[in-house]
């Protein structure tokens, strides 16, 4: 298995633009997680899905952020409109069950909003 | 509360020596803890975990110690190798509270040849 796949790996955009980050979880995994990592705040859980259904989105910073999982093999995290403070590395992770120790992280998308 | 990392502490260790990385967690009600390793340009990778009813757990070359009295967690790496160079951070979870996971700010481990 190729592991969790994220695209793009790097994104540079201007403030106000829409940004869409993509994730393909490991096949057969029922849980998908979106995280954000910054030097100031470390790694934060934004939202997670179980069987394509959002379960906990309490970590989503504000309404500019939205996440979808239209099917078991694809999820998106969208920021509209983007702001410079959204600059971070965004990770997607998937797991077979809810246990934290079984989460497999993707390589991340490094986002820079100018 | 959540830990905030303004500066990433660095631990420099001679190859072959043992490494000890420390973490202070914030919530006394946390009942599950994980150590992650993150190499440059990669996502975090699970290393070892421990539940609050234990004070020590050993894996392959790694040992995690938990001191609930002072809310302290440590990761010991035996015979440190160049491949151990990475950022290590701990995470705490309180399963009774919707399993919200809180990550520490991390420590960079640097290996001297």
Q: Given this model, what pLDDT does residue B98 score?
A: 54
> Alpha helix (H) ranges present in A1-114?
none
Q: State the pLDDT confidence band at B1, using cuts at 50, 70 and 90.
A: very low
Strand ranges (E), chain B:
10-14, 19-24, 32-38, 45-51, 56-58, 62-67, 72-77, 86-94, 100-103, 107-112
β-strand partners of A111: A11, A88
Tell the residue number behind the tokens 């500019």, with chain if given: A64
Euclidean distance between CA atoms A3 and A106, whole angstroms? 7
Q: Given this model, what pLDDT does residue B6 score?
A: 43
pLDDT tens figures, B79-92:
999 999 999 989 98
Inter-CA distances, B52 with A1, A42, B29, B31, B32, Å = 34, 23, 9, 5, 6
pLDDT tens figures, B55-78:
999 999 999 999 999 999 999 999
Nearest chain A residue to B39, by CA? A107
Contacts of A106 in chain B (CB under 8 A): 43
Contacts of A100 in chain B (CB under 8 A): 32, 34, 49, 91, 93, 99, 101
Least confident of A23-27, A34-38, A59-63: A59-63
Contact between A100 and B8 using a beta-carbon 8 Å cutoff: no
Residue B2 confidence (pLDDT) above 50:
no
Q: Given this model, what pLDDT does residue B101 score?
A: 78
Residues of A with CB under 8 A from a CB of B: 4, 39-45, 56, 58, 91, 93, 98, 100-103, 105-108
């Amino acid at each position: 298995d190729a592991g969790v796949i994220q695209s793009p790996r790097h994104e540079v955009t201007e403030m106000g633009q829409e940004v869409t980050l993509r994730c393909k979880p490991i096949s057969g995994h029922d849980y998908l997680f979106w995280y954000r990592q910054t030097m100031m705040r470390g790694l934060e859980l934004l939202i997670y899905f179980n069987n394509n259904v959002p379960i906990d989105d309490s970590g989503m910073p504000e309404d500019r952020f939205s996440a979808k999982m239209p099917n078991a093999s694809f999820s998106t995290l969208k920021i509209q409109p983007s702001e410079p403070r959204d600059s971070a590395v965004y990770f997607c992770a998937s797991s077979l069950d809810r246990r934290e120790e079984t989460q497999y992280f993707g390589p991340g998308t490094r986002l820079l909003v100018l | 509360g959540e830990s905030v990392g303004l500066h990433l502490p660095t631990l420099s260790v001679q190859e072959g020596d043992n490494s000890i990385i420390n973490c202070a967690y914030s919530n006394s009600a946390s009942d599950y803890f994980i150590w992650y390793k993150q190499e440059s340009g990669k996502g975090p990778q699970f290393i070892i975990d421990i539940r609050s009813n234990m004070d020590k757990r050993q894996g392959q070359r790694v040992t995690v110690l938990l001191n609930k009295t002072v809310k302290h967690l440590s990761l010991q790496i035996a015979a440190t190798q160049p491949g151990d160079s990475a950022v290590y951070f701990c995470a705490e979870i309180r399963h009774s509270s919707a399993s919200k996971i809180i990550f520490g700010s991390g420590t960079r481990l640097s290996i001297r040849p």
